[in-house]
Structure 1
Amino acid sequence: MSEHSTEISDEIYFPRETNALAVWAKANEDDYDVRAEKKATALKLAIQCINDGTLSSVDGIGSPLSRKIKDHHGCEIFEMNSHWVETSQLWKCPCCDRGKFEISRMGNKGQILAKLVIHHDHIEDALKAAFNKVFVERGTEDPTSTGLALVERMAPAFSLYAHILICEDCNNADTAAKKLLTNSGFDVRFQSFSIRQIRQFIHVVNNVSHSISKLSVLSLWEVVEPEYKARMKLIYQVAKAAVTQDYWYEKYPLGVVAIPTLSNGYGRYFGLELVSAEALSHEMAKNNIVHSSNWSRWRTESKKLGLVPPDNYLAMLLSLPGCAMMWRELESAWKCPICQRSKFEIVKFESNKVSFVTHKPTWSSPLWRGVKIICAGCCSVVNGMKSELRKGFEVDLGATFDCITPDELRSIITARPHSFPLVDKRMAKELVDRWVSK
C-alpha cells in the first residue's frame, strides 16, 4: 500500500495478535454444530409454545388464534405472510382497528388470507423521478456524483408519514383510492394516503375486504391536492439543485470505517463480542484523570436576560408537540407555584425559537407532594443544587427534590420574565454548606 492510498487495512480495526482473551474465547466458543442444534431446538420449542397457546407474542398456522380462524371459515389452508407470523396474536390494525381474527378472510383460491403489509409513502420514487426529469429537461452533460445521495437522504423529510404495519385490506384500499382518482383525471402517481386519511373513505366489515366511498375519496382529495402539488414543486426544486450543484454529500474513501468503536459493533471478535463496551469504558474511567467541573455555577453565575417572545409566539409554541402538550395541560390563569410567573412569562425566546417547559417534582420527596407542576426555570435551580451536592461534594441524596424545600427555593430566587431566575448567592451557599456539614 502506498503512502497516499486511501485504503485502510482491517488490521487497524481487527488486529490478529494472540492474547489471553482471544485464546479463552476460542477455547470456549460453541462449534457450528452446537450452535445449529441450539437454534433448531429453540425453533422447535417456539413452534410448540405457539401451538399450545403459551407463546402469543408471535403467531403461526397452529396457534389457538389460527385454529379459531380455521373453524370460522371452515378451511384448513392458510396464505400467511411473515409479518403475520412475526406479530402478536393480539395485534390490531392501527388503520381499521380490526384484530387478526376479524382481518382474516377467504381468498379467491379457496385459502384463508392472513397478511399484514408495511404501508409507506412513495415520495422517494417522486424524488428520483424528478431527478431524472431534470436531467432530461436541462440536457445536462455532466454527471453528478453526490446528487442522487442527496435525493435519497431527503426522501424522509418529504414523507407524509413513517412506515407502518397495517392489514392488507387497508393497504389495498389506498391503492383503490388512487386508481379511482386517476380514473377521475387526477395525477396521483406519487400520492399515498396516511392511515388517518384511509380511515375517512373505507367501509369496514369483519372478515371482508374494505369497500371505499368514492364521494369520501374525492372530498379528501380536494383537501389533500394543494399540499400534494406543493410537495411536488418543492421536490422538483431539490432535484434541480441535486443535478446542477455537485457538492451535497461527500462519501468517505473506500475502506474508511466511519466510527470504528466497540459500542458501534466494530472489533467484536476474539472474545470482545462478550465484553460490554459500556462496562469496559466504565472500568477504564476509574483510573482516568478527570478535570473537576465547576458545579457551583448555578448559584455563582447569572444567566442573561431573555427576549420577549413575538406576537405569534403561541402559534410557534403549539407547533412543537412537547411544548404544546405542557401548555395545554395548564389552565390559562395558572402560575408557577414557586416563582409566581404566568404561562406567558415562562415562555422563552432565544435564537428565533420559542419554548415552554414545565416539570413535575418527584413524588417520592415528601415536602414536594403538594406541588404538582413548576416551571423549567425553578427546576433548573433544583437540578443545579442537586448536581453540586452529589458530584461536587458527594453528598448522598435521595430523590432530586430532596435537596431543597419549596419555601427554601422561593427564598433564594428572584423571578424574571422569559428568563432563568436570579439566584441569591449568599443564601444559596448557606443551603449548600448546611448539607455539606451534615
Structure 2
Amino acid sequence: MKNTEGTQVSITIPAIASLDDEDMPNIVPFYDGRWSKQTKQLLADFDTQLLDLNQGWASTWTEWCCPCCKRHKRQIVRLTPSGVLLCHLERHHDHLDDFVKRLFEEIKTQCNDPNLRVQMSRAEGALRPLVERFECVLICADCNLADGRVKRELRDEIEPHFTFTPSEIADFITIQDNQQHGVDFERARAIWTDAGEDFSDRVDFATRMAKRIANGRHKREVAPGRKLHGQPQTKDVCFRLLEMQVPDIHRLHLGEAIEARSVARDGVGRTQKPGKTKSGKPPTDAEFATLDAEQTSTSKLWRGAGNDWQCACCDRSKREILRRSNRGKWTARIHQFEEFELETNPEQLWRRRLDGAGDIVISAPKRLLVCQDCREIAAKLRQRRADLDARTLTLENLRELANPATANVAHDVDFERVKEMVAENASLSNAISEFEEHKRRAIDIRIEVLRLKMTGRSEIEARDFIGFEIAKTRDWELEEGDEHTDWLLEEAARFGPN
C-alpha cells in the first residue's frame, strides 16, 4: 500500500497477546475487559485479585447501565463468598422466540419443495418480532437470575415459554448496590396474571400463522441467482486493501484473541475449604475383597476402572471410598460425571455464534469416573432444589466442595454454597442449552439428508437442497450455504449416533 507521497508502506499487525494492558483501550475503546482501569480499580476496592468477568461485561463500555435495575457497573459487581469479584452481564431473550422456532421446524420437516422451505424460513424471521414481547437485551446477572427464580418458584402457574420483560423484572425486584436482588413473588405473580391473556393471544397468533404458511398461503417468490450487493462501504474497501497487504489476517483471529484477553474466569470452582473431617474406620482386607468382588461382577464402571483407579474429583482410591451405610453395611459405587469441554477453535466459534452462542461455547461433553459421594453432591441438590440446574456444577466445583476429602467418610458439603455456585455458573447453564440446541440442529440436518435420499436424491443433491435453503434464508452466497451444511454434517458425525 502507498501513502499520499507514493511511498510503499508495509503493514504489520502486532499479536494481541504481546500488547500491554494500556494498549487495549486504543484497540477496542468501548470494551471493558480485565485489563481496563475500572476493572483494576474495582479489584482494588474489593481487596481481591480473583476475577470472574464474562464476554457480556467485556463487550460493553465502563458506564453501561442495566435496563432493568438501572445500576451502573460499579453498583453491579459483587464479591462471592469465596472472594471472587463477579462481573457478569447476560443476554435476556423472550422464550416465545423458541416457541416460534419449534413451530416452523415442525412444518418444514413435512415439506420437500426447497423454494417453499426458504419462504417458510423467511416467514419465520418476519413473524418472530411480531410475536415476541420484547427484544433480546443485555441485562445484569442479578436481574437475569431474578427472572429465573420467579419462573422456578411459580413453575406450576407460569407457562413454560413465558419470559418477564426488563420493565416487568424491574417491578418485582428489590435493589441494593453490589448485592443480589430480593424478589417479590406476589408482585411477580400479579404481573404474570396481567400479561397472561396477551401471552396466550401471541401463542395463538403464531400457531395460526404457521398453519397458514404451511398450507401455502403468503407465498413470496424466492429471487434466483446470487444475492444483490449494494454500494461499496468505506470499511469494506479499507479491509480489502489491508487484506492484500496482510494475506493471512484471517488466521490471526483478532476478535477471538481480544475476547480471550478481556474475559476472566477465576470464579469457577472457588469456595471456602472446610476443616478436615476425621477419617472413618477403614475396611479390613477381607471386607474390601468381598465388596470388590461383588462390584467387579455387577458394575462395568467398577470393573473397567481398574485396581489403581482414583476418583477424578476427590482423588480417593477404591478402598478409600468405602464407607458404612446407616445399617452398618459397607458400600461403594463408581459413577459417570459429565464435564463439558469448552470450544477454542476459532472457526468453530465463528460458526457456532452465527446461531447465537454466547461467550461460553461448549465443544463436547466429557465423561469422567467419580465416587458415589462426589456424585451425590449433584444428586442431593436435585432432591433439595429441583428447580436449579445441577448440570452447571463443574468438576472443579465438586472438587472444591469435596476437599479436603476424608477416607471412608461421606463428604461434608455446604449446600448453601452449592446453590451459590449454580447461580454464579448461570452462563454455563445457557451454554449447555445452546450446545444441546446445536447438537439437535446438526443431527436434524443429517436426518434430513437421509430423508431426502429416501425420495431418490443422491447425497450431493440432498446436500445442495439443504445448502440452498440455508443460503437463501440467511442471504448468503450458495457456496456459503453448502459450506455451512457440510460443517453441520461434520458436527453430526462428531456427535456420533443419535
* TM-score, with length taken from structure 1: 0.47
- Whose helix fraction is larger, Structure 1's or Structure 2's? 2
Larger radius of gyration: 1
The structure, 1 or 2, with the larger RCO (C-alpha pairs under 8 Å, 6+ apart) is 2
TM-score, scaled to structure 2? 0.42
